[in-house]
Amino acid sequence: QVQLAESGGGLVKPGGSLRLSCAASGFTFSDYYMNWIRQAPGKGLEWLSYISFTGNTIYYADSVKGRFTISRDNAKNSLYLQMNSLRAEDTAVYYCARGGQGGGWFDPWGRGTLVTVSS
């Protein structure tokens, strides 16, 4: 059964840092590109970052470029998001999602982890 499970969310002060993890199971992790997507409370979906199979190709949304870093460890079947210089507007549920084979869809998604940036 294909599963993704995020962890690492919590309450952090503005300017602080947090590292999210996404544990993958039920599929060959190294065969898929991966993404982070977030959803602010009561708002829509915002794609944040993409990482290719080996990590050689990485993309970011402008809203997090220079502050967030995506990475992966294929030996550990894990995806990460290092978040620095956090702002109140980064408050959201953060989802990891597997990329589609042959196309740019997201399936499946994890359940998400809540990040709250507040003093």
Distance in Å, CB of 38 to another protein, minimum: 11
φ and ψ at residue 26, rounded to 5 degrees: 90, 5
Report in angstroms how near the CB of residue 17 gets to another protein at its nearest: 23
Q: Least distance from C-beta 47 to another protein, angstroms?
A: 4
Does 25 participate in binding another protein (rule CB under 8 A)? no
Nearest to 94 by CA among 4, 33, 27: 4
- N- to C-terminal Cα distance for the chain? 40
96 neighbors 109 (Cβ within 8 angstroms)? yes
Contact assessment for residue 33 and residue 16, using Cβ atoms and an 8 Å cutoff: no
CB 4, min distance to another protein, A: 9
Site for another protein in 39-98 (CB under 8 A): 44-47, 50, 59-62, 95
Nearer to another protein, 56 or 119 (CB): 56
Closest by CA to 64, choosing from 42, 105, 92, 43, is 92
Note the residues at the interface with another protein (CB under 8 A).
35, 44-47, 50, 59-62, 95, 100, 103-112
